[in-house]
Amino acid sequence: MKEKFFNANFPKSADGRVFHVGIKRGEIANRIITVGDLNRAKLFLRLLDSDTPIFQRESHRGFITITGKYKGVPISIVGIGMGLSMMDFFVRETRAVIDGTMIIIRLGTCGSIGNANSGDVVISEGSFAVTRNYNYPIFENKKIIQDYETKTKEQPYNISKVFYGDKEICSLIRKQLIISGIPGSQIVQGLNATSDSFYSSQGRYDENFEDYNKGLIESIRTKYPEAESFEMETFMLYYLAKCSTDAPYRKVSNELKKEGKQKTKISNDTLTTQKGFNSRNSIRAAAIMIVILNRNKNEMIDPDKVNYLERTVGEAVLKGLLEIELDEEHIGDDCVWN
Ligand code: R1P
Ligand code: URA
């Protein structure tokens, strides 16, 4: 670590850069597409108005932030890598350097555990978490395991309740996917399972580990018959959107009040009336995934098809992002695109 950071509670550099994502206010837009694969982030740069970004930075922790414009509107693409913690870093640290409402759309890949075939596109209406129960006995005899299950009513994996994505964004994306030429029969809407491992908690067999995961997919489908996909980030995105507070609005209006500026369009009244939007939340989120494999049929997609789908779905998501009304396209005074 070369740079000095301040504030152990929420570390930032002297010029306001966040600790892991490595960006500061003014370098990222309110409208964001997030992807796992860093090459996918670079591919989406080519869909923007200019493939020379206004801002681009790769952090030492594996995040890439690209900011440009799409049809004249500021958009950021953020590549975050994989897993629940990377989504947590990304959402919290970007929230800390953006004013006003944030719209975050995850464009990822997933495995199908339901009706979707590989090559289909899943819109996650809601997501739940499937995490390993770390208290579950390992290598114990049947009796000890049975006693544990009877006493605790716990299983080797915890399946959480469902948190939902933003309905308006999900339906705008569906509309744009159809306009882009993805047949309605290949767009599946349902619930997504986000796991803390690609392997054990997605029910994959691995002889090198005792994972107690036989029948896990069946248990998930019994609890949630609408479960369509398995991936590793969406639950955290939806959960944090639901936990997000209105602090960003209070902060901005207090600052503007102090400075006696009237130019802002931000008003709590207009924000609370936004369709499908809980006035307490400052993040609106949705997730859409390309199905790259089908677990029931044990089939995997052809890579050429992924390239076509990434481009087509990417364009549809960009168009959908523009259709969402934001009261403010808030950009800081030191904003790079001012
Ligand atoms: C696993 O291969 C990764 O692919 C999926 C999963 O969520 C996990 O991160 O997402 P991305 O395609 O966005 O990386
Ligand atoms: N991503 C996942 O997390 N799981 C899959 O099966 C495919 C993609």
Q: pLDDT-derived band of residue 288, with 50, 70 and 90 as boundaries?
A: very high
Ligand 2: which residue has its CA nearest to atom 8? 110
What's the CATH fold of domain 5-323? Answer: Rossmann fold (3.40.50)
Which H helix or E strand runs over 130? strand 121-132
Mean predicted lDDT score pLDDT of the chain: 91
- % of the chain residues with pLDDT over 90: 84
230 C-beta closer than 6 A to ligand 2: yes
Q: Where are the alpha helices (DSSP H) in the chain?
A: 38-45, 84-95, 142-152, 167-179, 216-223, 234-243, 247-259, 268-272, 303-323
Which residues lie below 8 Å from residue 51, measured CB to CB, with a gap of 6+?
A: 45
What pLDDT is stored for residue 326 in this prediction? 86
Looking at the CA of residue 110, tell me the nearest atom of ligand 2. 8
In this prediction, residue 91 has a pLDDT band, given cuts at 50, 70 and 90, of very high
**Torsional class of 287: left (φ above 0), alpha (ψ -120 to 50), beta (otherwise):** beta
Residue 133 has pLDDT above 70, yes or no: yes
- Contact in structure between 192 and 116 (CB atoms under 8 Å): no
Among all chains, which residue has been given the structure tokens 């800081």? Answer: 332
By DSSP bridging, strand 187-195 and strand 227-231 are: parallel
Question: Is 202 touching ligand 2 by the criterion CB < 6 Å?
Answer: yes
58 versus 331: the higher-pLDDT residue is 58
DSSP notation for 311-337 = HHHHHHHHHHHHHS--S-----TT-TT
The label of the residue with tokens 């901005």 reads: 252
The rounded Å distance from CA 295 to ligand 2 centre is: 10
Residues 49 and 155: their CA atoms lie apart, in Å, by: 50
Residue 249 binned pLDDT confidence (cut-offs 50, 70, 90): confident
Query: What are the structural domain ranges in the chain?
Result: 5-323
Q: With CA atoms as reference, report the closest residue to 171 among 191, 187, 194.
A: 187
ipTM of the complex: 0.99
Pick the closest to residue 256 from 245, 269, 266, 271 (CA basis).
266
Chain CA centroid to CA 332, Å: 24
Q: Which amino acid is at 326?
A: L
Query: Ligand 1 pocket, 82 CB below 6 A?
Result: yes
% of the chain beyond a pLDDT of 70: 88
Atom of ligand 1 nearest to the CA of 37: 14
**Is the pLDDT confidence value at 71 over 80?**
yes
Taking a C-beta distance cutoff of 8 angstroms, is the pair 337, 74 a contact?
Answer: yes
Distance between Cα 284 and ligand 2 center (Å): 24
The mean pLDDT of 250-255, rounded to a whole number, is: 66
Q: Whose CA is nearest to atom 9 of ligand 1?
A: 82
**Residue with the two structure tokens 């414009």:** 69
CA atoms of 184 and 194, how far apart (whole Å):
24
